């Protein structure tokens, strides 16, 4: 170890390095205008031969490290600055590719739908052609049968299906009522269906005990009810407990009262044929029947 005040052992090496940089020292030591004839080198003033030698080397190393750090910072900054832009370009490219795929799929779907539409149109045309061919003979076939004339009932007679019905305002016994209906070209009403029964029931007025004869009797054989045309009754629309033949009751009638609970399909009763009730006439107006009813 050297004593205090003596130059360090590596001062010679430092002086040699300074001497080898002749060009740089000459540039530094070149006299400028207005300066003394013996200028002092700034480097030599900064670093004295008697000063510590490692400072210059340390300064160079630090400067180099700073430069490396600056360059690294710039590189990293540039990398992260450009990275989002690169990601955006990738995202845009993916979106473009997806749009291309969607467009291709949509075009294919439209083409398929057009093809199906054309096929359906073709099938429709074929069906229409077959239908026209089927109907053609009916259209050109001559009609030789005249259309039936419409049925027209006279005043106070009511049309249902192919029959006209008359509701009397006067009372007669059952035989007289049948005779009156025959004089008008008909007979006491024959009722086969619930629809016909309900139609006549709706024509009848309500009252305390409004009764109307119709064309049924068992006067020839008890409990063997027949219509006035000789056919046997099947079923019927009797009230509960009827017919009961209470006092030699051989003729049928319909009752409509003010009791709203009564219904059309349970309104038939039997009574003695000699009683006076109003009555219901019927005149068939179908094929072969006369279209005129005498008044």
Report pLDDT digits (tens) over 127-153. 888 887 776 555 445 556 667 789 899
Q: Is the pLDDT of residue 89 over 80?
A: no
Measure the CA–CA gap between 250 and 229, rounded to whole angstroms. Answer: 16
Helix and strand totals (H; E) in the chain: 6, 8
* DSSP-assigned letter for residue 145: S
Which of the four pLDDT bands, split at 50, 70 and 90, describes residue 86? Answer: low
Q: Could you tell me the sign of the dihedral formed by the alpha carbons of 225, 228, 231, 237, in that order?
A: negative
Per-residue model confidence (pLDDT) at position 282: 97
Per-residue model confidence (pLDDT) at position 192: 95
Model pTM score? 0.50
CATH architecture of 157-284: Roll (3.10)
Segment 143-166 mean pLDDT: 86
The answer for 102, left when phi > 0, alpha when psi is -120 to 50, beta otherwise, is alpha
Measure the CA–CA gap between 164 and 189, rounded to whole angstroms. Answer: 10
Work out the percent of the chain whose per-residue pLDDT is above 90. Answer: 41
Length of the chain: 295
Q: For the CA atoms of the chain, what is the radius of gyration?
A: 64
Report pLDDT digits (tens) over 7-65. 444 445 444 444 444 444 444 444 444 444 444 444 444 444 444 566 677 788 888 88
Measure the CA–CA gap between 205 and 191, rounded to whole angstroms. Answer: 18
């Amino acid at each position: 170890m050297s004593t205090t005040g003596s130059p360090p052992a590596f001062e010679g090496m430092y002086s040699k390095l300074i001497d080898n940089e002749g060009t740089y020292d000459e540039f530094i030591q070149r006299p400028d205008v207005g300066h003394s004839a013996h200028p002092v080198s700034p480097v030599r003033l900064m670093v004295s031969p008697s000063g510590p030698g490692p400072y210059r080397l340390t300064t160079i190393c630090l400067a180099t490290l700073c430069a490396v750090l600056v360059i690294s910072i710039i590189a990293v900054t540039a990398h992260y600055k450009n990275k989002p832009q690169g990601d955006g370009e990738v995202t845009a490219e993916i979106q473009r590719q997806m749009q291309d795929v969607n467009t291709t799929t949509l075009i294919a779907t439209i083409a398929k739908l057009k093809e199906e539409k054309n096929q359906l149109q073709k099938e429709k045309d074929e069906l229409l052609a077959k239908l026209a061919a089927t109907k053609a003979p009916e259209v050109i076939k001559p009609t030789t049968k005249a259309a039936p004339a419409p049925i027209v009932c006279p005043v106070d007679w009511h049309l249902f299906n192919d029959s006209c019905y008359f509701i009397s305002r006067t009372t007669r016994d059952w035989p007289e009522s049948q005779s009156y209906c025959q004089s008008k070209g008909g007979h006491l009403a024959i009722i086969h269906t619930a629809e016909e029964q309900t139609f006549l029931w709706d024509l009848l007025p309500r009252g305390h005990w409004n009764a109307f004869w119709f064309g049924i009797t068992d006067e020839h054989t008890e409990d063997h009810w027949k219509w006035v045309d000789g056919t046997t009754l099947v079923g019927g629309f009797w009230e509960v407990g009827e017919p009961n033949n209470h006092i030699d009751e051989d003729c049928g009638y319909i009752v409509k009262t003010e009791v709203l609970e009564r219904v059309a399909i349970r309104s038939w009763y039997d009574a003695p044929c000699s009683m006076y009730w109003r009555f219901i006439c019927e005149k068939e107006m179908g094929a072969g029947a006369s279209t005129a009813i005498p008044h």
